């Protein structure tokens, strides 16, 4: 019997459909790299999230592997060129959770503009401060979107009712401008945007793209949002930008290192600095997680693999 290993949290639809098609499914969301190296030797399929690197060493043990399915977006943990050279099909399902990520990004933005975490904390502490928590309306602002793929374009669509101007940059796409969405370069976004949101994959080119030079180029002290990958933003540079008032705040769903138990003293000090600020919101990489997205990611992956879900 063909075996499929699921290495992360997945909707039951995935297991159900695979089993109906004759696969033995090992649903192992807590499996370690070492355990996977033992199990993968006779596996025909592998389903991954963001936990385990699928590198050459692992792939060399997978003599029967036919396909790798990524729940969500981002293939940076998969050695895709090597896998494909071995005839292993690599598939992702960003269409499944793009709306969840876009809604979370909008939630971070509105929370920052209206000081919601701070106001809630103050009420809990017995303070009723209205003037001090006066918000800023999103309507009429200019929003820069860096990366106009599945999530970036979905975020732009959610912004339409707010009557904003969207300046969108994508290294690999053009011809997508319409009404309130304008194609722009990074220099134009740095000059005109009141809000800048990152929606790029993690590659050599995007690692640390928001560095000191990036923050120094900003003209309007924008809010910074990142629901893509933590290493896209150089955290030290972000903290300096906040302290130097080059930006007005930050909403982060991702960090360069998300294993808090492994933090060095410097990493802990930087995180503590961010958490102490009232103009920063950090959530634990949950933007792509919703009840609906769990189902849709599984459904998209199955359909791309050629399985019927009806």
On the question of pLDDT at 2 being above 70, the answer is yes
- 122-157 pLDDT, tens per residue? 999 999 999 999 999 999 999 999 999 999 999 999
CA dist., res. 275 & res. 282, Å (int):
8
On the question of pLDDT at 1 being above 70, the answer is no
| Domains of the chain with bracketed CATH | 3-92 (3.40.50.720), 97-282 (3.40.50.720)
CA dist., res. 206 & res. 233, Å (int):
9
90 close to 65: Cβ distance less than 8 angstroms: no
Q: Is 191 a catalytic residue?
A: no
205: number of CA atoms within 13 Å, CB side? 7
Q: Is 127 a catalytic residue?
A: no
Which entry of 132, 187, 258, 292 is annotated as an active-site residue? 258
The predicted model gives 212-220 an average pLDDT of 98
Q: Is 229 a catalytic residue?
A: yes
Closest CA to 78 of 95, 58, 98, 64: 58
Which entry of 34, 285, 292, 303 is annotated as an active-site residue? 285
How many Cβ atoms are within 10 Å of 254's Cβ, its own excluded? 22
Burial (Cβ within 10 Å: 0-12, 13-18, ≥19) of residue 66: middle
- 230-259 pLDDT, tens per residue? 999 999 999 999 999 999 999 999 999 999
Which entry of 70, 104, 115, 229 is annotated as an active-site residue? 229
The mean of the pLDDT values for the chain is 97
């Amino acid at each position: 019997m063909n075996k499929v290993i699921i290495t992360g949290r997945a909707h039951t639809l995935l297991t159900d459909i695979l089993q109906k098609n004759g696969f033995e499914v090992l649903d192992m969301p807590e499996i370690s790299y070492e355990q996977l190296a033992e199990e993968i030797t006779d596996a025909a399929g592998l389903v991954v999230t963001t936990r385990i690197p699928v590198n050459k060493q692992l792939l060399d043990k997978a003599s029967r592997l036919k396909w790798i399915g990524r729940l969500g977006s981002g293939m940076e943990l998969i050695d895709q060129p090597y896998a494909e050279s071995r005839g292993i099909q690599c598939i992702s399902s960003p269409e499944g959770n793009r709306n969840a990520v876009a809604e979370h990004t909008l939630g971070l933005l509105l929370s920052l503009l209206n000081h919601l975490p701070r106001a809630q904390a103050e009420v809990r502490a017995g303070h009723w401060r209205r003037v001090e928590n006066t918000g800023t309306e999103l309507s009429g602002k200019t929003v820069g979107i860096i990366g106009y793929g599945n999530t970036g374009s979905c975020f732009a669509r959610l912004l339409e009712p707010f009557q904003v101007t969207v300046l969108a940059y994508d290294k690999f796409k053009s011809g997508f401008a319409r009404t309130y969405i304008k194609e722009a370069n990074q220099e134009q976004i740095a000059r005109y945007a009141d809000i800048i949101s990152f929606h790029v994959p993690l590659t050599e080119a995007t690692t640390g793209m928001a560095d000191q030079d990036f923050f120094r180029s900003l003209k309007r002290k924008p809010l910074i949002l990142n629901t893509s990958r933590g290493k896209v933003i150089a955290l030290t540079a972000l903290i300096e930008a906040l302290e130097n008032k080059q930006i007005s705040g930050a909403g982060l769903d991702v960090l360069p290192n998300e294993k808090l138990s492994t933090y060095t003293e410097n990493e802990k000090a930087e995180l503590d600095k961010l958490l102490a600020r009232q103009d920063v919101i950090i959530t634990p990489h949950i933007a792509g997680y919703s009840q609906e997205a769990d189902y849709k990611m599984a459904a998209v992956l199955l359909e791309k693999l050629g399985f019927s879900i009806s």
